[in-house]
Chains A and B, each alone.
Chain A
Amino acid sequence: MKMEEKYFEISSENLKKFVERIIADNFEVIAPMDKDGDTFYGKISKFEEANLDILLPKMSYKEYLLPKTETLFEYSFSGADTDIKDGLEAAAGANQKRVIFGGRPCDAGAGPIMEKVFNWDYKDEFFNERFKNLTIISIACEKPDTYCFCTEMQLSPESSYGSDILLKKAGAQYFAVITGEKGLKLIKPYLSLFKETTKAQVPADKDWKKIFEIEKTKSFLDKNFEHNYFQDRFLSCIGCGICTYACPTCHCFDIQDEGTLKEGRRIRNWDSCQFGIFTLHTSGHNPRVTQGDRYRQRLMHKFKIYSEKFDKYLCVGCGRCSRNCPEDIDIKEVAKDLADMA
């Protein structure tokens, strides 16, 4: 049975102590860090290394749920015999001592959304093991930027969906919303740093406004597969995979064998629907010929297909695809355009 939410107060000073103590207790703490002129998620060795002022790191922390490359199994040959070693053993128990600290509600929302595709019918235990064990502490956003649209995507800058602990800043202290057992388990040894409170004490969420209705975007997509918009608007798409790889919810992958004549491994690698080869048949036929076709697929998958199958849109509105697009394709603007045309 799902645990009821619990609420705590914690001072900024104690939050720092909490993070330093879990680091001392051998937790791997992944937080936004200033690196290479930008901010990326990385392992911090002390609290000060975390940049909690940044809105969002450049890339998401998807790789902790779906590694860039994951070994599905290892193989070796001796004479006529083939030996196969299950790769799941290595993934089992992954993330047990890993904490994401200082991510945002959008990133946290990605986990339970992706969980659906990895569990319809066939259960992908690689994903499940990593997801089950990862503890996510998010900080509610105070100032989303112009690329953010989590509110349109059924979340909000203060949403606790997918977070084990959501921190909400209030002056010099934070309120911690503990959403379930995992969050509670993490703070339990350090409870002296927290002070339990009630929901009524936690500042209410602001009234975040939407600039378009995602249902309208979907209803346009439902009826306009062949619309000129896709070919015209995405003439400027160069077909790189940044939007999909920066995306916290894009999960498409490739399966490949790699090794020597004696041994090797079957791996799955991140892949992208924006690559021409993604759907290329052996015969040479390709269902998606133009970049317009491919970007349309991305929109369809996010705003139509996934929601029809799994009742959730495959997008958390983090805006990373827009901020990182070399050719300045802004998905929020696109989704709004489509909604306006519906």
Chain B
Amino acid sequence: MANTKTGEKLQKIAKDLLESGEVSLIIGYAKGSNPQRMRPFFTTKSEEAGKLSFSPNAVQDLAVFLKKPEVKKFGKIGIVVKGCDEKAVNTLIQEYQISRDDIKIIGVECNGVIRQNLADKGETAVSESTVYDKCLICEEHIPALYDFLVESEEPKLNLSGNVKPYAGIEKLEAMSSDEKNAFWDKEFDKCIKCYACRQVCPLCYCSRCIVEKNMPQWIDTNLEETGNAQWNLIRAYHLSGRCIGCGECERACPVNIPLMLINEKMAKDVYNLFGYKSGLDINAKPVFGVFSESDFNDFIK
């Protein structure tokens, strides 16, 4: 992969941060296992900063590593983030999982990343039909918060409006309860409980997940109808009002469950009901962490 201007800027920032000792670890992207893939890259050495790069194949949300004990022990960390991923950093700060002082945010302006399954089949163009739905509704091409910003070399995404993001939500909303149940039964039937949706989520940071607790056994352990539905529902609830829409769960899911339909619907409802969007402001109180008299209460009969 040729060294791009974006790459060079990232390398310079990382090198300076490591050399000055402002951070002891840089988390960024480097070239991956094929020309259409990038992978997380970790370095503590300024001389390795030259491996950093960025492209529309930088699909991973690197903020996931900020919850990992093996990474946390490095102390001060510099992290390369796209706008969507950066919202996860904000939420982690907001929820007291990391300290703003320990993080140097290296924001990258992003105009969309190519769906990995398409890229693996050779797709190289960034267009409204090749990027993730999250890119189509993105309002944070430039991250909401950053210490450094690297501008994009990619042209702005041209949105004709022909591709409707998260079109499935409207379809689901129009369904009866039975139809919705049938839809999700079929989807959850595919689930293999590999917990990739949990592990890849930057905001699923419980040190012991509810599925790992068995006194009482809240969630059935089976990988069948009951266990799978319970798992997927509890995951969704734990992320409602928190999910920042990076879409990593859906990207990682090896059996292609459309998890973003759940997450995005939740986010949409939270916005409509509370006027709250997660991940934008590190000083905001989490929507389900506060009570306001103006909250709707017509569900109380």
A and B together in one complex: yes
* Contacts from A to B (Cβ < 8 Å): 35-38, 40, 58-59, 68-69, 146-147, 231-232, 235-236, 238-242, 244-246, 254, 256, 258, 267, 269-270, 272, 275, 277, 290-292, 322-324, 326-330, 333
Please name the residue on chain B nearest to A324 by beta carbon.
Answer: B254
- Cβ 8 A contact of B70, one of A242, A244, A246, A292: A292
**Roughly how many angstroms separate A134 CA and B165 CA in the complex, as a whole number?**
43
**Roughly how many angstroms separate A35 CA and B252 CA in the complex, as a whole number?**
16
Q: Which of B69, B190, B220, B223 has the most CB of A within 10 A?
A: B223
* Contacts from B to A (Cβ < 8 Å): 32-34, 37-42, 60, 64-65, 68-71, 117, 120, 190, 192-196, 198-200, 208, 212, 217, 220-224, 227, 248, 251-252, 254-256
CB-CB < 8 A to A272: which residues of B?
194
- Cβ 8 A contact of A291, one of B70, B217, B222: B70
**Roughly how many angstroms separate A57 CA and B33 CA in the complex, as a whole number?**
19
The SS class assigned to the A binding surface is mixed
- What are 12 A-B contacts defined by CB distance under 8 Å? A69-B222, A235-B70, A238-B199, A240-B252, A242-B196, A242-B252, A246-B254, A258-B217, A277-B208, A328-B33, A328-B40, A329-B39
Given the known interface contacts A68-B223, A69-B224, A270-B193, the answer about A240 and B256 at a Cβ–Cβ threshold of 8 Å is no
- Cβ 8 A contact of A69, one of B196, B223, B256: B223
CB-CB < 8 A to B40: which residues of A?
236, 327-328
CB-CB < 8 A to B195: which residues of A?
240-241, 275
Please name the residue on chain A nearest to B196 by beta carbon.
Answer: A240
Given the known interface contacts A36-B256, A327-B60, the answer about A258 and B194 at a Cβ–Cβ threshold of 8 Å is no
CB-CB < 8 A to A240: which residues of B?
194-196, 198-200, 252
Given the known interface contacts A245-B192, A269-B223, the answer about A238 and B70 at a Cβ–Cβ threshold of 8 Å is no
Query: Smallest Cβ distance from A124 to chain B, in angstroms?
Result: 19
Contact present for A239 and B117 (CB under 8 Å): no
CB-CB < 8 A to B34: which residues of A?
146
CB-CB < 8 A to B227: which residues of A?
69
CB-CB < 8 A to A256: which residues of B?
221-222
**Roughly how many angstroms separate A37 CA and B198 CA in the complex, as a whole number?**
22
Contact present for A235 and B38 (CB under 8 Å): no
- Cβ 8 A contact of A38, one of B117, B194, B223: B117
